[in-house]
Amino acid sequence: MRVISVSRDVVVWSFLLASWIGIGLPCRADSGSRPNVLVVLTDDQGWGDLSLHGNPNLQTPHIDSLARDGVQIKNFYVCAVCSPTRAEFLTGRYHTRSGVFSTSAGGERFDLSERTIGDAFQAAGYRTAAFGKWHSGMQAPYHPNARGFDEFYGFCSGHWGNYFSPMLEHNGKIVKGDGFIVDDLTQHAIDFMEQDRENPFFVYLPLNTPHSPMQVPDEDWEKFEGKEIVPDPRPENAKKEDVQHTRAALALCENIDDNVGRLLDALDRLSLSEDTIVVFFCDNGPNGSRFNGGLRGRKGAVHEGGLRSPCLIRYPGKLPAGQTVGGIAGAIDLFPTLADLCDVEVGTTAGPLDGISLVDGLRDSESEPAERLIFTAWGGKFSVRSNRYRYHANGDLFDIVADPGETQSIAEEQPVATARLKRALQDWVKETKPRDRNHSEEQVFPVGHPDYPWTQLPARDARATGEIRRSNRFPNSSYMTNWHSTKDAMTWDVDVLAGGQFDVEVFYACPESAVGTQLNLEWKQGDATATTDSVVTQANPSGPIHLDKDRSKRAESDEKDWKKMSLGQIDLSKGRGRLSLTCPRIMGEDGETRGLEIRLMMLHRVPAE
């Protein structure tokens, strides 16, 4: 096991919906008698990325121990990509109901009418915290602090461009991380668990690996550099495998396992293991064609390989050790299940929950699994899983019990089952109305929430005019570059929730020759305008950073060391309008390095006198 140096101590929609709708759970007990909750969610780690599931290429003893000492849900399903899964875990409802339709530009946000698991546990007297990748909205009231989490440290975007002491945020304020990001997030979770022992905690730890870029610490990479990799038994998976990418992914998975070990050690050291429910699951299938137990598909697919996730739940003395639960379950079930285990009221939700409490099955493996259906949709593709079959909207039916790899459709041999599941899927699509990303659809970003002083407006959410270009086609964690013309602009369509005076800061990079460039911010609301401007007085010639830690070619934007500059103050009036950032004067030589590169604009409400 690697040693981590730190500065502090470390030692469905269901047809049984009428039987449970999420508002009839037990009444709250005294918060002091309730268990703590620790939920670990990983990013792009597939079902097959554990030694527990037969992968011969890595060892994950700490994660595996949760199955040995707790309960493993054999057939557990999430969504095809990340933001929908997070929405379903947080709300207990299908993401298609709550408004999630994309992974960026506002499409990752679920509706404000939704009640979150954080809201419920916070109302029950729990100390609530989230550390890691939120990916459910960046600006309040979509920010985690506004959705039931007292404490937040991490980032709200869909992915991040640098994993080594990166730019992060703490409760809305920009800060610098400390070392490798997963180690840092884990340390923050441990520190939080150590605080205020009078009240139980609910810690949500959505780690951001092994999502690309495939940046791996040297000590984790040593084992996998040049390592021979055993391919997946499915021929098409083996044929498509990028072995170098796989090596990096597995190194990151072992790093996750080490950090799960740190968490479990901390619970032991704090004498909290017996009083803490630990949950581990993943957000979608693997982000590569690597070993996945022969399952069909990967991240983004609505086949088993894109949707099946580990789910391990440890609660010593309350849930039997080493038990495997049959039937089917999903991320939608974790909210009602944890509320049930902790005697926490779900409360009033935006509609009936799609998830059900799994407590009876977790406690008694002999109990008959409920007959139910779990639905999924992504990218215009749909499928539904019953206890035995998976039906796809293209007409294929697979017997998952006999054919977990979905190799042979039996739709013609099973016309009754095919017709039943086809009708159920059509009804679900009609009811929940899944929608695809419409790139021309206007996305408006809230600014100036009266209860939260900071508002981030990243380049990923801006629209660019003229020659300005995004640093990468994937908007998350990107920046704007190629700013050559004084006619060009970055714009954000916003809704100011409470008017007032705001300090404005911009995070930028530029060469020495660009010193003297003028930046202007204009607020336009109908015929009314307000402006503020400033001149660049310090160069920031940062190039891409930490690319030496990329162990496989990245698809995402590079990252830089961004410098902060003040643009002064601007008066924003309540309501809809547009913020436009322009450069009335651009200094420097012609070429790609001319002018500024912009990563982020921050607004901070000036307190009223």
With H, G, I as helix, E, B as strand and everything else as coil, classify residue 173: strand
- Residues 143-178 as b/e (b if ≥16 CB within 10 A, e otherwise) read bbbbbbbbbbbbbbbbbbbbbbbbbbbebbebeebb
The answer to whether the CB of 379 falls within 8 A of the CB of 145 is no
In a domain, 67, yes or no: no
In a domain, 398, yes or no: yes
Q: How confident is the model at residue 107 (pLDDT cuts 50, 70, 90)?
A: confident
Chain segment 406-451, per-residue pLDDT in tens: 999 999 999 999 999 999 999 999 999 886 655 445 689 999 999 9
Residue 369 scores a pLDDT above 60: yes
In a domain, 605, yes or no: no
In a domain, 533, yes or no: no
Query: What's the CA dihedral at 344, 120, 335, 430 to 10 degrees?
Result: 130
d(CA 373, CA 328): 8
Q: By C-alpha distance, which of 323, 283, 300, 254 is closest to 74?
A: 323
Element holding 352 (H helix, E strand):
none
Q: How confident is the model at residue 319 (pLDDT cuts 50, 70, 90)?
A: very high
The answer to whether the CB of 437 falls within 8 A of the CB of 101 is yes
Report, as an integer, the average pLDDT of 449-454: 96
Task: Please give the model's pTM, rounded to 2 decimal places.
Answer: 0.93
Range of the domain at 411: 381-432
In a domain, 469, yes or no: no
In a domain, 391, yes or no: yes
Report, as an integer, the average pLDDT of 314-319: 97
- Residues 382-405 as b/e (b if ≥16 CB within 10 A, e otherwise) read bbbbbbebbbbbeebbbbbeebbb
Chain segment 534-544, per-residue pLDDT in tens: 999 999 999 99
Q: By C-alpha distance, which of 215, 213, 99, 208 is closest to 158?
A: 208
Q: How many CA atoms lie within 13 A of 320 on its CB side?
A: 13
Task: Tell me how many domains the chain contains.
Answer: 1
Q: How confident is the model at residue 365 (pLDDT cuts 50, 70, 90)?
A: confident
Report, as an integer, the average pLDDT of 265-276: 97
- Partnered with residue 375 across adjacent β-strands are 384
Kindly give the pairing relationship between strand 76-77 and strand 308-309.
Answer: antiparallel
Residues 6+ apart with CB under 8 A from 591: none
Token pair 């810690």 in the structure block, residue: 203
Given this model, what pLDDT does residue 3 score? 45
User: Could you tell me the two tokens for 84?
Assistant: 């929908």
Amino acid identity of residue 413, one-letter, is E
Chain segment 227-247, per-residue pLDDT in tens: 999 999 999 999 999 999 999
**Backbone torsion region of residue 466, taken as left when φ is above 0, otherwise alpha when ψ lies between -120 and 50, otherwise beta:** left
Chain segment 158-207, per-residue pLDDT in tens: 999 999 999 999 999 999 999 999 999 999 999 999 998 889 999 999 99
Element holding 239 (H helix, E strand):
helix 235-240
Element holding 418 (H helix, E strand):
helix 415-432
Residue 92: DSSP 8-state? S
Amino acid identity of residue 109, one-letter, is R
Token pair 């923050």 in the structure block, residue: 188
Residue 371 scores a pLDDT above 50: yes
In a domain, 525, yes or no: no
* N-term to C-term CA, the chain: 55
With H, G, I as helix, E, B as strand and everything else as coil, classify residue 400: coil
With H, G, I as helix, E, B as strand and everything else as coil, classify residue 361: helix
Q: What is the CATH number of the domain that holds 401?
A: 3.30.1120.10
The alpha helices in 8-74, defined as continuous H runs, are: 61-69
Q: By C-alpha distance, which of 15, 54, 5, 137 is closest to 425?
A: 15
Q: How many CA atoms lie within 13 A of 95 on its CB side?
A: 28
Chain segment 565-594, per-residue pLDDT in tens: 999 999 999 999 999 999 999 997 655 556
In a domain, 418, yes or no: yes
Residue 549 φ then ψ, to 5°: -90, -5
Q: By C-alpha distance, which of 246, 322, 346, 336 is closest to 291?
A: 246
